[in-house]
Structure 1
Amino acid sequence: MIHRLFLLAALLLPGLLHAEDKRPNIVLILSDDHTYSHYGFMGNEMVETPNLDRMAGESLLYTRGYSMPVCSPSLATLLTGLLPSRHGITGNDLHASSPKAPKAGRANRDPLRDRLLANPLILPKTLSDAGYLTFQTGKLWNTSFSEVGFTHGMTKERSRHGGAGLSIGRKGMEPVHEFIDMAVEKEKPFFVWYAPLLPHDPHNPPERLKKKYAGKGPTKHGEVYHAMIEWFDETCGDLDRYLEKKGLKDDTFIIYLSDNGWDPFAGYGGGRAKLTPYENGIRTPVFIRWPGKVQPTRDDSNLVSIVDVVPTLLSVAGISVPDVMPGLDLRDHEAVEERDTIFIESFRHDIMDIDDPSKSVTSLVVLDGWSKLILPGTVGPDANKARFSSTAGVVELFDLKSDPTETKNLAAERPAEVKRLKALQDAQWKVE
């Protein structure tokens, strides 16, 4: 049945689909406020992530992945395949001084919704149009599930985080199970967007996990945070076991990453993490699993970006990738190895002008091999968010190979390298 549907879709959508015998199911797993080093498979001995460890071991794992430093821009990139300066969602809310703020405010998401939907491609809609059943759970900023083209979903009203969708994981996985059952019954390929509010606050893990980590961390905050991570890991294990129970593991492509980082021990009191261009704010492991189709490999050297997710999923589904998208198909390990440079954009939490991204830039990041350049933006961080955001306000250059925690600014010592990397950024997007 799936094969006949695919052939029909290929006839109806010439040039959109490639001729493959069977399209896989697709599952996107996205954690939230998850420090890149806080997984067992990343070498952390303070937190237990047995399910993610196993899944990563079965995958092509890129440990040097990068996302944007705050939620809404990252999720918009996952919907569009574009950097925030291109898709237009640079922050979580409109600033009070924004030209559209008098009609908007934090509750009214219409200007943000309209800007997001103006993009040339929206991932769930494209997959739905290609014959997939698509299901949204967890975080989804500014729109309802149907507005971005999911056939099914939990977020039925526009909101800041995801409204009713935020219960997934925290209150069980039954909605995902039911959707998978329905898709199997209808003999349709499916896409699951699993983006729970985990390990994001509120940090209220089950008491059994809270007790497990009590007294085993450098701070009380860190202990509860680790309990939240294991809680998230348990939900990933539930989802993966359900796929296996249904005989779907070999026919399902899974991609995992986090939308931004976090200070695991200081939380909102820490800097150089969420809302910042530093490693704890933007780095994330990324892995892809497709048994028999993707060779399990660990890559600790090459750079991957959140902009690679949409091209990867489109390609997996047999859908042509628009030239406007800067990302790569992460299954093509050779192409990833040949790419030297990726770009990260850091903006204020509140958008100064939704029609002009340059007015909200706090810093721009160029990652080229092991060199990392941070360029000051046009504005500083929001005063009301300064407790957990920071930007140096000066040019910073780090050698991540020898200095992974960014302790020594080499900009003054290596002016030629600064000039070279700045030229790469200017060619990508020059902000005056």
Structure 2
Amino acid sequence: MKTPFLIWTAVILLSWVGRGQGETPTRPNVILIISDDQGFPDYGFMGNEEVQTPNLDRMAGESLLYTRGYVMPVCSPSLACLLTGKLPHEHRITGNDLSDNRSSRGQRGELAEQLLSSPTLLPKMLTDAGYLTLQTGKLWNVTYADAGFTHGMTDTAGRHGDAGLGIGRQGMEPIFEFIDAAQKQKAPFFVWYAPFMPHVPHTPPKEILDAYRGRGPTPAAEKYYAMVEWFDQTCGQLDQYLEEHGLKENTVVLYLADNGWDGKHGQSKARAKLSPYELGIRTPMFVRWPGKVAPARDDATLAHIIDFVPTILDATGVARSESLAGLNLTDREAMQARQTVFVESYTHDIADLDAPEKSLIAQVVIDGQWKLIAPGPVNPDRPFSSVPSATALFNLAADPLEENDVASEHPEIVEKLLSLQKAEWNP
């Protein structure tokens, strides 16, 4: 009876060896796609008939899709959430810049020190677990190496992402070359694809823009829609590469936008980027993992940006801290049981890294169909950002773009949501 025992022992040993760095072909690859300044309605799969997003439409259809995802209303705090798994009042990167007159180098150094002090840094954790990790596109305040990536494009610490911003607009070759190298090393890989798209400047290729001429509400909107389609094309190129190289089945693809945008009005109205309204903070989110995660569309469950770190760590088998409050997006039971998520809206410039409340313009509570916006102690510092003058309540099921404040009609719901916010964080 030794043969079964020997076979069982060999299986266990092979499994153990497979845990070494670069030796685990069954560990999934991961690609995180982050679009930049894209409104939640501006996808075909979200019902927009003016903009063309065939690749994201297809990918969303192959995924577990949450159409009610929430992020912070501006990019640097949102990206810090994706790196740390924490809300801004915890990681303290509440805005894009410090509000005083420090030199750019000194300001970035202080912000970098704050960000890198987080006990959780997603790329570093994946690198430590044996993944090859690539940064492209947006990355505020730090270099790719600072954040723990093994490879990257942003090799100077500045605003947005410096050299990393060439990805997408100038082609996808850096990602393809990195994946080729990872395949040759037989190492699992993680790709951070955060292009400067469809972010301004809206400079789409002429052949894409020509198709939108006369179709949008304004010429500016037509350029934005063309940028969205251009971004969609880059996602299609990336997905085609996975398909052609036999990588689709063992690659987890996750998607969200870092913050919203008003596709029709840009920044001429004050309810999108940098604001706590739906056009500023809502985005679809999806996870595609063929054979592991069943495709489904969920228009009810609340998803959140802090869910991405636990989702990726769980998928890759990397242990995570119990202090992470986010959920695994693929845990349907836990996701559907959650009723409430929170969003924090701040001034563009950070008044005090040690006191986030000094930059707070609004706190947001979304509880089922109800949304409460509670104004903070300071006013917005940009003309295209706004908050209500008093605590406002909206029924998102009946009023998805918050046109009718019903706080006076439902004081008991206002009190309940304020209590939830106070328990979450009361500056």
Task: Indicate the TM-score class for this superposition, using the shorter chain for normalisation.
Answer: over 0.9
* CA contact 2:97–2:107 (8 Å) conserved in 1: no
* CA contact 1:3–1:22 (8 Å) conserved in 2: no
Distance between the aligned counterparts of 1:165 and 1:107, measured in 2? Answer: 21
* CA contact 1:157–1:163 (8 Å) conserved in 2: yes
Distance between the aligned counterparts of 2:239 and 2:358, measured in 1? Answer: 43
Larger radius of gyration: 2
Pairing of 1:214-229 with structure 2 (within 5 A): 214-229=213-228
* CA contact 1:6–1:131 (8 Å) conserved in 2: no
Distance between the aligned counterparts of 2:15 and 2:142, measured in 1? Answer: 33
SS class of match (1:249): coil
Instruction: Spell out, residue by residue over 1:12-43, the C-alpha distance to the aligned partner (whole angstroms, 9 max, x if none).
Output: xxxxxxxx982100000000000000100001
How many residues were matched structurally? 414
**1:242 maps to what in 2?**
241
TM-score, scaled relative to structure 2: 0.95
Residue 84 of structure 2 is aligned to residue 80 of structure 1: yes
AA at the equivalent of 1:82: K
**2:348 maps to what in 1?**
349
Distance between the aligned counterparts of 2:265 and 2:172, measured in 1? Answer: 30
Report the alpha carbon displacement of residue 290 of structure 1 after superposing the two structures with TM: 0.4
Report the alpha carbon displacement of residue 51 of structure 1 after superposing the two structures with TM: 0.3
Report the alpha carbon displacement of residue 4 of structure 1 after superposing the two structures with TM: 6.3
Residue 26 of structure 2 is aligned to residue 22 of structure 1: yes
AA at the equivalent of 2:61: G
SS class of match (1:362): strand
**1:93 maps to what in 2?**
97
Residue 409 of structure 2 is aligned to residue 397 of structure 1: no
* CA contact 1:263–1:271 (8 Å) conserved in 2: no
AA at the equivalent of 1:403: D
* CA contact 2:273–2:279 (8 Å) conserved in 1: yes
AA at the equivalent of 1:85: H
**1:109 maps to what in 2?**
108
Pairing of 1:62-81 with structure 2 (within 5 A): 62-81=66-85
**2:10 maps to what in 1?**
none
Distance between the aligned counterparts of 2:79 and 2:145, measured in 1? Answer: 16
* CA contact 1:166–1:196 (8 Å) conserved in 2: yes
Runs of 4+ in 1 over 2 A off after TM superposition: 2-10, 104-108
Distance between the aligned counterparts of 1:37 and 1:369, measured in 2? Answer: 19
Distance between the aligned counterparts of 1:3 and 1:50, measured in 2? Answer: 40
Report the alpha carbon displacement of residue 5 of structure 1 after superposing the two structures with TM: 5.9
SS class of match (1:29): strand
> Aligned in 2, Cα 1:6/1:395: closer, same or farther, shift over 3 Å?
farther
Which consecutive unaligned segments of at least 5 residues does structure 1 have?
11-19
* CA contact 2:21–2:187 (8 Å) conserved in 1: no
SS class of match (2:95): coil
**2:19 maps to what in 1?**
7
Pairing of 1:239-388 with structure 2 (within 5 A): 239-382=238-381, 385-386=382-383, 388=384
Shifted more, 77-86 versus 314-323: the winner is: 314-323
Report the alpha carbon displacement of residue 269 of structure 1 after superposing the two structures with TM: 1.5
Distance between the aligned counterparts of 2:377 and 2:166, measured in 1? Answer: 38
**1:152 maps to what in 2?**
151
Shifted more, 198-207 versus 264-273: the winner is: 264-273
* CA contact 1:277–1:363 (8 Å) conserved in 2: yes
* CA contact 1:107–1:159 (8 Å) conserved in 2: no
Distance between the aligned counterparts of 1:151 and 1:106, measured in 2? Answer: 24
AA at the equivalent of 1:306: I
Report the alpha carbon displacement of residue 270 of structure 1 after superposing the two structures with TM: 1.7
Distance between the aligned counterparts of 1:254 and 1:77, measured in 2? Answer: 18
TM-score, scaled relative to structure 1: 0.94
**2:6 maps to what in 1?**
none
Report the alpha carbon displacement of residue 7 of structure 1 after superposing the two structures with TM: 2.2
Pairing of 1:30-41 with structure 2 (within 5 A): 30-41=34-45
Distance between the aligned counterparts of 1:86 and 1:277, measured in 2? Answer: 18
**1:210 maps to what in 2?**
209
